Amino acid sequence: MSNIQSVLNHLQQERILLNAQLERLNSAISALRGTSSSRTGRSLSTAARARIAAAQRARWAKVKRLKVVSINARRRPKLSVTALAKIRAAQKARWAKWRKQQKSA
């Protein structure tokens, strides 16, 4: 009985050593590949990147004592009421045409 217990203890110790070696090997492989598993692939929206860039430009302008250009100044002008009405009418016509095709098919 004690013989089985000593064999089990020896196997557990060997497993601990092998796990440590595997960890070292995995870290060496990831270092050689240049990839780190701790970072996930997050992406920012265009608006978020624009806000960050504008904030950075403002910081640099403050350091250099330059005029700060607002991010709002770079936005496109809004559509007029008539242009928006034309777009809506065209879209309604497209959907009506599509529905008509779906009904006939």
Q: Dump pLDDT digits (tens) for 16-38.
A: 999 999 999 888 888 888 765 56
| Residue 28: domain span | 1-34
> Does residue 11 surpass a pLDDT of 70?
yes
In a domain, 52, yes or no: yes
Q: Judge contact between 70 and 76, C-beta under 8 A.
A: no
Same domain membership, residue 30 and residue 3: yes
What band does 92 get if pLDDT is binned at 50, 70 and 90? very high
Rounded CA separation 32/26 (Å): 10
What band does 100 get if pLDDT is binned at 50, 70 and 90? very high
- pLDDT, the chain, mean: 84
Same domain membership, residue 3 and residue 30: yes
Q: Dump pLDDT digits (tens) for 58-82.
A: 888 887 876 666 666 566 778 899 9
What band does 90 get if pLDDT is binned at 50, 70 and 90? very high
Query: Closest by alpha carbon to 69, among 82, 86, 55, 79?
Result: 55
In a domain, 25, yes or no: yes
Say what the pLDDT of residue 70 is: 65
Number of domains into which the chain is organized: 3
In a domain, 39, yes or no: no
Same domain membership, residue 85 and residue 70: no
Say what the pLDDT of residue 54 is: 87
Same domain membership, residue 25 and residue 53: no
